[in-house]
Every structure is written in C-alpha cells, then in structure tokens.
Structure 1
Amino acid sequence: MPRPLLSPSLSAQGEEAMASGTALIYDDEMTTYKLLWDDPVCAIEVPERLSRSYERLQHYGLAQRCVRLPVREATDQEITLVHSPEYLEVVKSTQTMNEEELQKTSEKYTAVYFHQNSYRCAKLSLGGALQLVDAVLSGDVRNGMALVRPPGHHSYRDQGNGFCVFNNVAVAAKYAQKKYNLQRILIVDWDVHHGQGIQYTFEDDPSVLYFSWHRYEHMRYWPNLSESNYDAVGKGKGAGFNVNLPWNKIGMGNADYIAAFLHVLLPVTFEFDPDLVLVSAGYDSGIGDPEGCMRATPECFSHLTHLLMNLARGKLCAVLEGGYHLRSLSESVCTTVRTLLGDAVPGLTGEMAPCYSALESMQNVQAALAPYWQCLSLNGIGPVTRCSTEDDPAPEPVSAQQQCADTAATDHFLELHMKDILRPAAAVTTSAVIPDGLKCVLPAGVQIVKQSAPSEQIDAAFSAFTKARFNNSDVLHSAGKMLTVLSNLKADQTRNAVVLSPDASLSAAVALRETLLLGFERVFCVHVGDTDPELRIGDDGKSLFLRICGALPAAVPNTKYQLSLKWTETSDEGSGFFYPLLRFVLPLGYSYRPDVILLAVGSNASIGSKDILLLASLLQGLAEGRILAIIPEWESELTTAISSSLVGCPTTKHLGPYKCPTKECVDALKEEQRMLQVEWELLRSYAAD
C-alpha cells in the first residue's frame, strides 16, 4: 500500500469561490493635467506615462482580455483615512487657481506641481485603486492593475511630495482594513524611490508589512532620508514590519532583484502570511529609466509578479507609481499584466549573479530584521561594518544630449528584446494523462490526452530499462501517452502537463531520458520522495537533478548537477518548506535557467501535498512555464490542485499556516548553500562568507 502524502488533505482546507479574471483600471481623464511652467525636476512626469502604457496594452491585446472596471472618484472620507482635512482643502482649492497661484502652491511642497484638474485626477487615481481593491476582495476578479495618475507613495498625511498628491496604496490598505477587516496586508514597493509616505503611515502598525527597495547611495539620493536606510524597521508595535532594502549603487539588474525577493522579502512574507498583496508598481527601477539608472529588463517584473501571486490566495492589486522612460515603462506594465492574466512567464535574461553591493544591502537588512522574524534570526549574521561603496563618488549628471541618446538606445534595445522574449502561446495550456477508468476532477481548459506515442518511440524510450518492468500494461499505456505530451511540449503545442501514473518514479526516469533525446538542452528535474533505481543522471549539465527526501542517499555527495535536499515536514500545525523552497530550490532553478521542468512525486514523500502544490506553482516561473508534473495515480486530489495551478487558476485554498524550520535544518541548508554558491551564485544571500 503506498504511503500517503503528509499533511491534511487539500480539500480539508477552507475554500472560497474561485475568482477569475484580471481587472484593469484606466481612464483617459487622468491624462488631462500637466506641468504649466518650467521645472526641470517635475518635467518628466507627463501624461504620456499613462497613455503610452495603455496603448501598449492594447497593442498586445492585453487590455481587451482584462475585465474593465469603471473609475470613480474617491470620497472625502476615504481620502482622510490617511490625509488631513487641511491638506485635502488645499488640494481642493487648486481647482480655481490661476497659473501663478498654482505655481506658488506647488512650491510649498517638494517636487510637486498642481494643475486645475489635479484634484479631479487625484480623486480618480485613488478611486481607481479602491475600485480594484473592492473587485479583488469581493471575489469579482482574481487580481488586477490600476493604471492611474498621479502616483501616490511619496505623499504624506499633510503634504504632497515627489509628484504624488494622495497616497493611493496607503489609503487602499486603510480602506481594506476598515471595510473588509483584513488582519495582515503586504505592501511591496518596487519603485526605485523610497515610498516614505507609506512608511510613515504604517511604521507603528504591525498589521501592515511594508517592503521597499530603493536607490539610496548612502543617503546621497532623493529623498535623502536616514529613515530610508536598512535600520529603519518600524516603531513601537510596528517594529520589524518596515523593510527597507537600500541600493547603494546604480546598475542593479534582474539577478539583484530576484535575489532580494528570494532571500529577503519572501521568507519574511511567508512567515507574515498576508490576506492581501498591494504593489506600489513603479517602473523607474527598470532599464533605461533616467531616474533609476538600473538595468532590470521588462520580464523581471513578470517574475516579481508571479512570485507575489503565490501569496494571499492570489489576491494581488498592482497600482502604478513611477516610470519615466516611456518604452521601458509601457513594456514593463505589459509584462506585469500578462502574468496577472496567467500567461507564461518569459525567460529571465542576464547573468544570474547578484552584485557584491546588493549582497551587502541584503545582509544588512537581514541582520536588522533578525530580532523580529524567526526565518531570519537563524542566519546568524551581523551587518556589514563598512560597505564597499561608501566612498564611491556620486554618479556624474547626465547631459540632456546624452539622455536623449540613451533613451533612443534603450528604445532600440527593447524593440529587439521584446520580440526575442515573447513567444506565441501554446494552443493548449495544460494537458493531462489520466488512467482509463480513474475519476479525477479537472478544471475547465485541461485537455485529456488520448493518443499514445508511436510504438517505435515507446520502444526507444524504454530501451535503457529492464524490459520485464513494462509487463504491466497500465504502466506502458500511461507512459506512451506521456511521451506524446513530451513531444507536444517540445513542439510548443502545449505549455504544461500533468500525468497520473501507476509508477510515478519509473515514469519520471523515462521522462528524463526522453526530454534529453528530444533535444531539450537543460532539464531541471525535481523529485520528491524515492527515485527509481534505474534512473540515469548525467553530469554534463544537460540536466540538473534535485531530490527532496527524508534521508540522504548513503555515500552520494552532492555535485553541481546532482543534488539531494533532506527535508521532512510532519506537523499539521504548519510547514517550514517555504524556507528551502525560496532559499535553495528556486535559486538553483533561476541560476540553471532550464528549458523544461520535470516535477515527480515518488513514494515516501517527505513533504505534504500543500508543499508540493506550492512547489509546482512557484516552479512555473521557470522554463517559460514548460513543466511536466508526474504524480502517483492514487493522488487524484493533488492532481486536481496542480492542474488548476498549471492552467492558470491559483488555488483559493490557504496553503499555510507557515512556520519557521528548526535551527538544525537551517544550519544544514546553509552548509549546502556555502558549498554550492561558487557554482550557483544566486544561492548567496549575504556578502560575508
């Protein structure tokens, strides 16, 4: 009798009605204000930031696929959830001012300009964010994006700041707390500037976890605040719930951003376990932006979005903030919306090695937060005593002529880059191989595979294995259909698939061999539980094999391409598997950059069904979502859940509660990271050895 997977049944968890669809908030009226006088600081905040982004969404057909929601004005009561009545009256008064009065009022604040239509647009911008929160929390849609202007994350209770009038995301969080009684809200601010207005609003509130990475350069970059540094962790009861990751040099790229998510933000966030994710989605952290001077390419934001969609049962609201290179902004908005819609996540480009300055910043913030988060307290590292960039000179100002040339160069790069990373969608999103006569509930859109591979292909696939093992006709029948699926994956006719097999370990061994015969160049095989004794694993880099097991194989040391991770979860009170998943499994996968992923569940699985479902969901960010999940035929319920995830319907079941692993487990994992991080640099989470 096969050993059942550990942890409570998936069906035993609380469920909600399955929300579907991605909301898009947009209204042309928010482009009807602009700067009326010369101001080199504010000149980059232009109406085209909004209109060009929307046009690009239309160009790709993404706007047409979204659920369009009407934009409404925010009310005075909603605005004053964060802002003072006195400041609200000042903004109202700008409606009747002439240009001279508007300029004088604007000069009372930092980097703000008012127009006679600013108040109306600010109410629409905030109202649009609240509309999105309502749609997601009421279950009308799964997630969404508010394409709004003016932005909000810099504005204070009693003043505008940094192009921002009303603090859209801060008010949205207060609104969600009040109307929906949410207990835990995550705000992720990936804008290149520190959202100090959000920080000030919630710095003593433990129900809101705020994360911001931002260009800082040891306080030499705007807004030049000491409280933007890593040691500003919140106040009073909110201590530990403010996470600042300061970038102390320009040029941060895809690897730095992914490393920050995997090693800093997400471990804390899983421990926090939010009910809602709000994203202050600023794209001045992307390539070509004159404000950020960073190098993240548009697909990076697709990956960040995908990682966040695995929290809060998929309830995610992205609200536009900054972004001042129009092509970089618009392409990055599109990759975000693509991912919210459930499209395949494009492959991530660039070398997957975080820079030393990024590692220093990550080490500092982990050390500062260690007293408050168990997942960081076991690291046993202190802050960097003196950062390598402290004496670096400030970047030279860029001339208008050079900025124009840089903008044109980025435009040209993105024109070619987007064609390279965006591929036509497969005709079938998810295929399934189900044994005849077995009942298994599958979501709409999953195509049942009926056709077996040709006999000569089956013979070739089985030629390396003991023939007597294939006397079982059920095994042979299932494997034949699995070969059809693999051929379809290679031909991009299906994006992913799930196979219910009478012998999952043997099927995984056959599948690994077949993927290499079909010409996949890099296969990432993640095997949970016992592996087949006839499994052949090469050490030539064409496959990366990771076994997750309860006991390490005797006298089989880890090598670069053949790895074992000892991890056992037996408690019904919560799982700590998120920790090695984020800090070991995914860094390996992102470093390796596979063409296809095999996820196999064998006998004696040492982690539970919820852990396996989370693993399957997060792995879809790799290999452009090209994944084959092989599951024992008696695990039909797990098959249903994974199929739903593969087809683009994240589970509404709560996969928590999450708990931190033991110190012994963390220490063992750290030792594995230490030995392997020379080969796989994304495993590094801090600068110190």
Structure 2
Amino acid sequence: MASGTALVYDEEMTTHKLLWSDPVCDIEVPERLSSSYEQLKRYHLVERCVHVPVREGSEEEILLVHSLEHLEVAKRTQTMNEEELKRVSGNYDAFFFHPNTYRCARLAVGATLQLVDAVMSGKVCNGMALVRPPGHHSQRNAANGFCLFNNVAIAAEYAKLKYSLQRILIVDWDVHHGQGIQYLFEEDPSVLYFSWHRYEHQEFWPSLKESDYDAVGLGKGKGFNINLPWNKVGMGNSDYLAAFFHVLLPMAFEFDPELVLVSSGYDSGIGDPEGQMNATPEVFAHLTHFLMQLAHGKLCVILEGGYHLKSLSESICMTVKTLLGDPVAQITGEMAPCLSAIESIQNVRAAHKPYWKWLMYEGKYSSLSSSKYSLCYFILYLRIWGFTFVLNSFLLLLKDAEGNDFFSAVLGFILPVAYSYQPNLTVIAVGPNRSLGINGISLLFALLQGLAESRILAVMEVRSGINLMQSVAKALVGASTPHFGVYVPPTQEKVNKIKILRDQFQQEWKMLQCSGKLSVFIFSSYEYMDVSENFIKYSWIL
C-alpha cells in the first residue's frame, strides 16, 4: 500500500520574473514560491515529505495539449533581449516573458508529471508540486493570465496515456476561472472539471460568458464541465464547504475518479488582492481532506495562483499538513453560506440536473406515507471536551438502501449539519444490526474526521465483526477508503425524506440551505424536543 506525501520543488523556478513595470503582472513574483517553501520548513513539513526531483517536461509532453506554434514561440524567447520579450509578451493577455521563462515552464510541467508518476506508481499516496509559472489559463495556442503551459491539463492527458486512466477529476479552487482547462476538456467525458471563481456576472477577469454556471460542456462532454461562479466578493469558509457538500462531492463520488488533480490557487483565500475573499487557510485543509477520500487517495495538488504571501504560505502549509495525515484544523466562525453563494449553488445544480443521477429527482418531491417513516435520533450534548457531536442510530436513515446511495444522506444532510454545529468531539456508535455496509461506515468515519480537529471516537459492539473493526481502524489512521463500485442513485423516496429533513432544520443548521428552497421549520413533524442546560436532543420522523 502506498504511503507518504511527495513534495516537488526546485528553486530554479523562481528565476522567472518580470523585467519591466506592469501593474497587471507585478503580483506574480518569485517570492510566491520561496516564501511558501520557507514556511513549510519552519513548520518542519519539508523533512516529513518524500522529496521527488523535478525534471523538464519534454516537447512531446507539452504537445499533448499545446500546438507546435505555441511551443516554438516560447522556445524563441530564450535568446531575446528585454525589448523583444516585452513585445512578444504584449501579444498575450496578462503574461510576461523572461529569458528563463521557457526553462521554468518546462520544469513546472516536469515537476507536475513527476508528482503524477510518484502517485500512480505507488511510491507515495499523494503530494504537492510547488511550481511557477502556473498553468490553468494557458490555452492550446496562447499564453494567458501568467500561464505559459497548462501543467494540470498536460498531467491529465499524460496520466490517461501512460496509465490508461478513464476518469480524472480536476478541481480548480483558484479564484480565477481556469478557462484554459475548460477549453481543452469541454468535449471530453473522461475529465470532470470543477471550477469555482470570482465572476460578478461577467465583470471579473477573464470576463467570459462561458465561465458562467450554464457552460456545462459540449457534445459528449456535456455535464462534465462544472462552473460555480461567485457573483460577489467576500466568500468565506462556509460558502466553499457548501459548494463541496452540495455540488462537487456528490458529482465526484458518482463520477468515481481514478486520479484527482487540484489546480490549487490560493488567491481564493483571505487577504489576497485578486480574490478579495474571506476564506481562511484552515478551509483548504478541509477541502483537501474531502478530496483524499476519492480515487483511493490518489491526489496531486499543483500550485496555481496566490498573491498574498502570508495567506498563500499558510494555506499551502495547511494543505500539506492534511496530505501528511495531520489532524484537520478546526474552522471557527459562523457556518452560514451567504445568499449569493446559495443562488450560485442552486443554479449549478439546476444546470446539471439532466446529466447526473444524484440530481434526477431534484425539484420533484411527493408526500410520504407515514407507514414508511423510520425514527432517527440526532444527539448533541455537553461533555468533558465541551460540545460533543454524536451520530448514533442515524444509520436508520439508510435502511433498505441499495449499494452506495447513502451519499445523498451523508453529503446532503449529515455533513452540512455537522459542519454547522462545529463539534469538539465526534462520536459514532455502530451496532451489529446496522443497515449500512462496511465500506459505507468506513467512508463515514473518514469524512467526519475533518471535524473536531480529527478527534473521533468509535463505539462498536463486539458483535459488529472483526472485518468492520479492521476497516474502521484503517479509516481512523488515514488509510484510503475502500472502493464503492458502480454508483447507485438514491430513490425518489430517499430524496423526499432528506428534503423534508432539510426543510425542517435549515433555519437552525445553515449549511443545509444550499440544496432546495429556503423554508421555515415544519414543527408538526417533530415528535419532541428536549432541552436542558447540558443536553440537547432532537428527534424527528424520517
């Protein structure tokens, strides 16, 4: 079994720099790499990683996504003087050439492919490549937005070719839309591309209509391009997590990728002058943690943007800590997505409804017969470490579930409520008469380890079986979660049950508000509510 986390870095990539005054490009500085690497050393993270050497990407590898003309233009810049470099740079939108840019860009490609090889060969479980120049804006025949060669797109084509992969997930959490990746894969159903980005109704760069939520892909690629536009600044931790719970993760688990690539731009973090968002470095630990549950843990994180050096370096450290298996940092503050984020999330779900099984009953709700209701307890109480979050017999929600359709319950209800509550300890009790299989329980443990700084307590009866205990133990120590097989969509009855629960509790647990209309509590559905100083117990009919 693969273990360890790769770190790919070479100081030479800091030699790519701007030689003249340009107010658009002057934020893309070498210190983005050097200060981040120094911060990793200060946290003693570098010494804990597996060091993978960089290499140059070959011309053949670059030509997997770029034209020969684009490659030749880049090669010629190596011998140009400053005036010539400035003239060639002016042919592109927000890009600059230095005599060593071509060399650095080839190193960035090679570093990314070295990481893919290390992960796919089993040398490591996951890893991060710190590279410059970034890549997600570059297109087949053009540099764009500080990007010369599209590192992540090349990595996807390389992995498909070398390792015969049929499903690759690319997650782009940079604050800018990675239109270069979208253009390269919008007709390709083997690559699922997800991008959230500052958009402001097409007012923010790159100001493209095709960056909006209704650009779902073309031809056979319809449904495999997911754009989540942020139409206001100030998006925070809860908005990012809501996007994962209610859009990305359900799609990702249905897609079932064999490899996950992250276009990891941290200009979506707090303090960045480009993004103007409020997400703290801790949220990137949680996003990374969720992606580690996919593709047997095969996760490659490749640096894109990020221009506030302190925010950038701290966010990178949070990401690497999580890849190494350290406890996931607690998120503080109110967990309530803003109305603009909710609107964008609902628009994405509506646009992709024709293409995804998990959305097939979106908006189609019917009344449920009371004879089919089950009882579920959701218990919150005060213990030695403060508020403790207990998920006990909620598994009854999954009664009569087929295959892995429990995702709708876990992602659509359990995780949003848990993150709304932000416990200091997570306790999961599993009995022998469970309705959920070993793989489902193991994944549940893994997903909930993102809470309470990974403080999680498993309470299991001896009769639960040695296989289940071993599987849960592996999940608790960070082993990759078992494969779920072919995705089975939830039944309409299951969707209805979860919809009723969301409507009942979304006023109290704000993270539920991103999937379905906002509504008031339905008090008639409560069996009882018992409140005391140290004990709060909610009981409802499922």
Query: Which of 454, 458, 465 is equivalent to 1:625?
Result: 454
Query: Which of 391, 395, 398 is equivalent to 1:526?
Result: 391
Is 1:600 paired with 2:429?
yes
Contact 1:305 1:340 (C-alpha < 8 Å) held by counterparts = yes
Counterpart residue number, 2:143: 160
* 1:431-510 correspondence runs (5 A): none
Counterpart residue number, 2:416: 587
* 1:77-96 correspondence runs (5 A): 77-96=60-79
Deviations 1:32-74 (A, max 9, x none): 1210011000000000000000000000000110000000000
Report the AA paired with residue 228 of structure 2: L
Contact 1:359 1:687 (C-alpha < 8 Å) held by counterparts = no
Counterpart CA distance in 2 for 1:612 and 1:125 is: 39
Report the AA paired with residue 339 of structure 1: T
Structure 2 residue runs without a partner (length 5+): 365-376, 519-542
Contact 1:569 1:577 (C-alpha < 8 Å) held by counterparts = no
Counterpart residue number, 2:503: 674
Report the AA paired with residue 238 of structure 1: G
Deviations 1:283-332 (A, max 9, x none): 00000000000000000000000011000010000000000000000000
Counterpart residue number, 1:355: 338
Query: Which of 255, 266, 277 is equivalent to 1:283?
Result: 266
Report the AA paired with residue 136 of structure 1: V
Counterpart CA distance in 2 for 1:569 and 1:150 is: 51
Counterpart residue number, 2:249: 266
Deviation at 1:357, TM superposition (A): 0.2
Deviations 1:267-298 (A, max 9, x none): 11111110000000000000000000000000
Structure 1 residue runs without a partner (length 5+): 1-17, 382-508, 529-546, 550-565
Deviations 1:406-460 (A, max 9, x none): xxxxxxxxxxxxxxxxxxxxxxxxxxxxxxxxxxxxxxxxxxxxxxxxxxxxxxx
Deviation at 1:686, TM superposition (A): 4.3
Counterpart CA distance in 2 for 1:185 and 1:237 is: 15
Contact 1:49 1:326 (C-alpha < 8 Å) held by counterparts = yes
Report the identity percentage: 62
Counterpart CA distance in 1 for 2:400 and 2:89 is: 57
Q: SS state of the match for residue 487, structure 2?
A: coil
Counterpart CA distance in 1 for 2:27 and 2:454 is: 37
* 1:114-513 correspondence runs (5 A): 114-380=97-363
Is 1:567 paired with 2:398?
yes
- Which stretch of structure 1 is more off in the superposition, 636-645 or 221-230? 636-645
Query: Which of 472, 475, 479 is equivalent to 1:642?
Result: 472
Contact 2:443 2:475 (C-alpha < 8 Å) held by counterparts = no
Q: SS state of the match for residue 418, structure 2?
A: helix
**Structure whose CA Rg is larger:** 1
Contact 1:192 1:283 (C-alpha < 8 Å) held by counterparts = yes
Q: SS state of the match for residue 346, structure 1?
A: coil
Deviation at 1:632, TM superposition (A): 2.5
Contact 2:363 2:516 (C-alpha < 8 Å) held by counterparts = no
Deviations 1:229-286 (A, max 9, x none): 0000000000000000000000000000000000011111111110000000000000
Report the AA paired with residue 278 of structure 1: L
Query: CA separation of 1:274/1:569 partners in 2, compared to 1, >3 Å: closer, same or farther?
Result: farther
- Calculate the TM-score normalised by the size of structure 1: 0.72
Counterpart CA distance in 2 for 1:607 and 1:639 is: 14
Q: Higher relative contact order at CA 8 Å, sep ≥6: structure 1 or structure 2?
A: 1
Q: SS state of the match for residue 354, structure 2?
A: coil
Counterpart CA distance in 1 for 2:382 and 2:176 is: 45
Is 1:107 paired with 2:94?
no
Counterpart CA distance in 2 for 1:250 and 1:101 is: 38
- Calculate the TM-score normalised by the size of structure 2: 0.91
Report the AA paired with residue 593 of structure 1: Q
Q: SS state of the match for residue 370, structure 1?
A: helix
Query: CA separation of 1:22/1:288 partners in 2, compared to 1, >3 Å: closer, same or farther?
Result: same
Deviations 1:325-347 (A, max 9, x none): 00000000000000000000010
